[in-house]
Amino acid sequence: MTRWFTAAFLVLCAYFAWDHFVLARPIDRGPGVVAPNVPDQALLGSDAPMFTKNGYRVAALATFDMQARVLHTKGYCCGGLDGLAPLDAVFGWGRMSDQQVLAHLDISQSGRFYYWHYAGEPPIPRREIETSSANMHLIPATPAIERRLKHLRPGNIVSLKGYLVEVSGEGGFRWRSSLTREDTGGGACELIWVEEIEAS
C-alpha cells in the first residue's frame, strides 16, 4: 500500500512540475512588436446583453476585441469573486509587446493589481507603459473558455472577444470595468466577460 501511495505521489509531483516548469514557462518571441493594435471597444446602449454567473449579475457596458501579448498571469480560486473571475492577466500591445522592451521590465501581480519596475531609465516613456498595457480581470463565459484561460502563459499572443462589464451582487456590491486605456491605479483594470479566446 505504501509503495502505491509513493508512486501516486511521485506521478502527481511530476505532473505539477511539468505543468509549472514546462507548460507554464514564458514563450520567447524574439525582438519586435508582435501585437501592434490598441484594443477595440464600442459602448453599448440600453439593449446591452445581461448575464448571470455564480449568483452575480453581469451587465455588458461595451464590446471588446483585443489582440495582445500576455505579460503575466495570476490565478485565483475558492469561490466568491475568485470563482467569478478566476484569472487576471496582464496584456501588452504596441511596444509593450516587444521583447526588447519587456526585457528591461520586471512585471508582477498582487491583490488584483499589476506592477512594473525597471532599473535606471525606462525602456520607453512611462506613460507609454501605462497606456500600452493593462491588468484585466477575466470572467469566462463557459467552462471551455475557463480551461483556455488557465493555460495562458507569458509570451502567448491572444485574440480575445467579449464585453467590458459591470458586476453586481447582494448588499449593493458593484465591480465595474474601466472603459478607457488612459487611466491608472484603482479602478483602472478592465473587467471582461470572455466569449472567445485563441492563443498562440
Each residue's pLDDT tens digit, 151-195 = 999 999 999 999 999 999 999 999 999 999 888 888 899 999 999
Does residue 5 sit in helix, strand or coil?
Answer: helix
How far is the C-alpha of 26 from the C-alpha of 156, rounded, in Å?
8
Domain count, the chain: 1
pLDDT tens digits, one per residue of 63-86? 999 999 999 999 998 878 899 999
Whether 16 is in a domain gets the answer no
Q: What is the mean pLDDT of residues 107-124?
A: 96
- pLDDT computed for residue 61 by the predictor: 98
- The helix (H) or strand (E) run that includes residue 90 is strand 87-92
| Predicted local distance difference test score (pLDDT) of residue 29 | 84
User: Has residue 146 been placed in a domain?
Assistant: yes
Q: What residue has cell string 485574440?
A: 159
Question: What residue numbers bound the domain in which 145 lies?
Answer: 31-199
Would residue 109 count as lying in a domain? Answer: yes
pLDDT band at 20 (very low <50, low <70, confident <90, very high): very low
The pLDDT tens digits of the residues spanning 127-148 come to 999 999 999 999 999 999 999 9
Q: Could you count the other beta carbons within 10 Å of the beta carbon of residue 128? A: 15
- Is residue 79, in this structure, part of any structural domain at all? yes
Tell me the average pLDDT of the chain. Answer: 90
What pTM was estimated for this model as a whole? 0.87
Residue 24 lies in a domain: no
Question: Averaged over 89-94, what is the pLDDT?
Answer: 98
- The answer to whether residues 136 and 163 touch, using CB atoms and an 8 Å cutoff, is no
In a domain, 172, yes or no: yes
122 within a domain of the structure (yes/no): yes
The reply to whether 121 falls in a domain is yes
CA distance linking residue 199 with residue 163, whole number of Å: 18
- Judged against a pLDDT cut of 90, whether residue 16 lies above it is answered with no
Please report, for the chain, how many H helices and E strands are present, in that order.
Answer: 5, 10
